[in-house]
Chains A and B, each alone.
Chain A
Amino acid sequence: MDSFVAMYLRLNASGWGNEGVQSLLSLRGIRKEFPGCLANDDVDLDVLPGQIHALLGENGAGKSTLVKMIYGILRPDGGEMLWNGTPVTIDTPSTARALGIGMVFQHFSLFEALTVAENISLGIPKELAGPGLNDRIVEISKFYGLPLDPTREVHSLSVGERQRIEIVRCLLQNPKLLIMDEPTSVLTPQEANKLFETLERLASEGVSILYISHRLEEIRKLCHKATILRLGRVVSDCDPSLETARSLAEMMMGGDLNLAERRQGTAAGPVLFEVSRLSCQPEDPFGVPLKDISFALREGEILGVAGLAGNGQKELMGMLSGETLSDSPGMITMGDVAVGSLGPRRRRALGLGFVPEERLGHGAVPDMMLWENGFLSAMQGQNLMSKGFIKVAKTVGFTRAVVNRFNVKTAGVEHNASSLSGGNLQKFIVGREIEQNPSVLIVLQPTWGVDAGSATAIHQELMDMAANGAAVLVISQDLDELFAVSDRIAVMCEGSLSRATPVSDTTVEQIGLLMGGLQDPERIAAGLAI
């Protein structure tokens, strides 16, 4: 039987290559300008067949813009693209796919109520979606170590499994170039290692991979070559395995990296924020029910909550911020006040600050100016209103202070929030809350998509807040981040929260296993003090 995999291998055999061979994709002098900002200027890039090529840069350095042009979502203003040495114009994603370019986005576009196979068939050409699709999905997913059951419905899958759907969808189309945008930000360390095996296997078969990540250690391990962008220009091409994470970060920043200083365990003060026996059934049919969650947040401490996305973090965040009200007011208390039935404005008035996960459309209004977005959460605390009228000058002043303090790259506070790169907007949203000096700060994914230098700055600000007596809750999937800032750490899995353990008593591996849902009592008794 002429299996699909064998066919796949034959098709890719022509793409084998070593140094000195024809580049698969070459960019020459690519330029892209947005109003008020030159996103890419004179960018040259050569991706060789079978190479894993890292694209590095700070937020706003132009990485996303560049890959969007390669994938046909944006059009360059100047320069040319060569595919196997022939000039090409890629004006739509379908053109890109026809050439053999696949892309796995940071955000998946999947329908929760449909099965894996149905979702895959929606995103590929009709010719491929015909009968036998299920078999091909199974075949390809087994071959590349991406186990996937085509008949499962998406809402029952973990984020890691959802990512596999996107990858398999690309692989079905025999890509010669696979673009991956921050693929490991949603994975446990164990899942990430599996993904690396898959990518290495693909590369060994001649598929090129353009890899974007802020995790420099994994780039050092995985990638053959790195191109570093700064302010839209290529500043360096290097072999990442010969560099250190620090030297890579410094190339991206063009300066020295100051690592956040770990505070030495300050004596925790009185409880500022407490959750006791919080349960809730979400309105969203695919939401995660919260089960009996309890924790106390003390003055001067940072509590980290680890867990893979989709284990109830969003639902918990909604309850803590007051966007969802709890069944009984006493489930959440701030100091002596039961706040469970108070909305976000009332909780802010009591000194709560919070940063939701979604930047565009939740933490900020994309089509509103930056200063209007400053007003959004600071209107009460900063006294930006008088008799219902917006104090524009004062709001602009507040917003400028946030932009300057957190080094947000923007052409000005009168530009729309959507004009900022993802990481820059994240800095703005986190900064907007920190600048208000809340006594309790709750952040979901504080440095999601933020570059190393800025992430360090945000970590430092969070730790300074705690040192000055605030209570901080950080909910994140990034274990390095949690271990860098937290005093205690707890794990969220399927809507339950484990008891918090001091960071010094646990390890990344142990937390990683708990995140993956490991509940083997023997193992826990043997090694994990949870």
Chain B
Amino acid sequence: MRIEARTEISQPMIYMAPVLAIALTMLAGMVLFWVMGHDPLVSLYTFFVAPVNNLDGIAELMIKATPLVIIGIGLSFGFRANVWNIGAEGQLTIGAIAGGVLALVFYEVDSLFLLPGMIIVAALGGMAWAAIPAFLKTRYNANEILTSLMLTYVALLILSMLIHGPLKDPDGMNFPESRMLHDAALLPILIEDTRLHAGVFLALAAVATAWVILGRHIIGFQIKVIGMAPRAASFAGFDQRKIIWLSFMFAGAASGIAGISEIAGPLGQIVPTISPGYGFTAIIVAFVGRLHPVGILMAGLLMALSYLGGENAQIEMNMPNAVTGVFQGMLLFFLLACDVLIKFRLRFK
């Protein structure tokens, strides 16, 4: 068996690939449920429909999608320019700590400026953390995949150190958690009796901003040219280092904002685990969304559904927690497989 490059690549198929991948994931999921002794159709309903057949479920879907979309958008700039920032999880963590600390410093201070201040500080925190791999890459040509990924674990340990030490709630009976944030430091709730918070607007703003930057702005243009044809970028005189820096800064800011929207949103305090891997899942979101802002919005909702479906499957069908990861992994696997088969074909001899 050999793999051969296709001579003509079908353009519609490139956009069909995510749809195909979703269909294949569902199919494979049904087989998986069936092998494990569950009714495949009922399982599929439990996983993909039951979580969102009420208002509360839809609100939860949007809560989960918010950080995924924000980070996915931030990462998509770099991925388009061949800058492989894998460390969004760490940037999210540092951003969340920075914003959260600001809220704790101004504990009980009732100011309209506190929340915007927290968002800005969180963005700066994420950017500062992203600046390390950006500097190592531009100055020493260090592989950003390794540096950004390794820094994620450093960030998580910093969080652990702080939450077991200075940030621990003095009245918290020694639990490793911060104080609950006061109301002025929390994102407003949009629909009563749900947890849906104003962070969704941040996600929508990120989508709109990215759309404009990529479609009409010189920064987006430079990012696209560098990604598609690096030599054409140097012909035009674009500075590749500047774009590496910008890519990391976009991703760092987005991840930091996503982090604070968790702290000031559903969590309401700094806890030892701020994100269930949003920073990593957002990588899948960015690629399933074909690095396009609207695609990322859709993909973020889909991935959010996989989290909810996984939780529901745990509750209703006694499935292990790993089922969420299995579905996300299958989706990425099928997407990559579809991409390969669109560009190449198999020949049997």
A367 pairs with B228, CB closer than 8 A: yes
Question: How many angstroms between the C-alpha atoms of A364 and B225 in the bound complex?
Answer: 9
Q: Which of B7, B218, B229, B234 contacts A366 (CB 8 A)?
A: B229
Given contacts A365-B228, A368-B224, contact A389 B217 (CB under 8 A): yes
A235: which B residues are within 8 A, CB to CB?
Answer: none
B216 pairs with A376, CB closer than 8 A: no
B232 pairs with A365, CB closer than 8 A: yes
Distance in angstroms from B77 CB to nearest chain A CB is: 15
Q: Which of A358-378 contact B (CB under 8 A)?
A: 358, 360-368, 372, 375-377
A363 pairs with B228, CB closer than 8 A: no
Q: How large is the interface on A (under 10, 10 to 19, 20 to 34, 35 or more residues)?
A: 20 to 34
Q: Closest chain B residue to A318 by CB distance?
A: B234
A92: which B residues are within 8 A, CB to CB?
Answer: 4, 7
A390 pairs with B216, CB closer than 8 A: yes
A344 pairs with B235, CB closer than 8 A: yes
B232 pairs with A74, CB closer than 8 A: no
Question: How many angstroms between the C-alpha atoms of A376 and B232 in the bound complex?
Answer: 8
A368: which B residues are within 8 A, CB to CB?
Answer: 224-225, 228
Q: Closest chain A residue to B221 by CB distance?
A: A390
The reply to whether the CB of B112 lies closer than 8 angstroms to some CB of chain A is no
Interface of B: prevailing SS: helix
Given contacts A74-B8, A366-B229, contact A389 B236 (CB under 8 A): no
Given contacts A365-B225, A367-B228, A368-B228, contact A388 B219 (CB under 8 A): yes
The reply to whether the CB of A431 lies closer than 8 angstroms to some CB of chain B is no
B8: which A residues are within 8 A, CB to CB?
Answer: 74-75
Interface of A: prevailing SS: loop
A365 pairs with B217, CB closer than 8 A: no
Bits for A333-373, please: 1 = Cβ < 8 Å to B, else 0: 00000000001111010000000101011111111100010
Question: How many angstroms between the C-alpha atoms of A379 and B224 in the bound complex?
Answer: 15
A356 pairs with B235, CB closer than 8 A: yes
Given contacts A368-B225, A372-B221, A376-B225, contact A389 B235 (CB under 8 A): no
A377 pairs with B218, CB closer than 8 A: no
Q: Which of A366, A375, A377, A385 contacts B228 (CB 8 A)?
A: A366
The reply to whether the CB of A323 lies closer than 8 angstroms to some CB of chain B is yes
Q: Which of A301-327 contact B (CB under 8 A)?
A: 321-323
B235: which A residues are within 8 A, CB to CB?
Answer: 321, 323, 344, 356, 362-363, 376-377
Q: Closest chain A residue to B11 by CB distance?
A: A35
B237 pairs with A388, CB closer than 8 A: no
Q: Which of A73, A358, A367, A376 contacts B236 (CB 8 A)?
A: A376
Distance in angstroms from A297 CB to nearest chain B CB is: 20
B231: which A residues are within 8 A, CB to CB?
Answer: 358, 361-362
The reply to whether the CB of A113 lies closer than 8 angstroms to some CB of chain B is no
B234: which A residues are within 8 A, CB to CB?
Answer: 323, 344
Q: Which of A345, A363, A388, A389 contacts B232 (CB 8 A)?
A: A363
Q: With contacts A365-B224, A365-B232 known, what are 11 further pairs, Cβ within 8 A? A: A74-B8, A343-B239, A344-B236, A345-B236, A356-B235, A361-B229, A361-B231, A365-B228, A368-B225, A376-B235, A390-B218
17 contacts between A and B (CB under 8 A): A73-B7, A322-B237, A323-B234, A345-B236, A356-B235, A362-B235, A364-B232, A366-B228, A366-B229, A376-B225, A376-B235, A376-B236, A388-B217, A388-B218, A388-B219, A390-B217, A390-B221
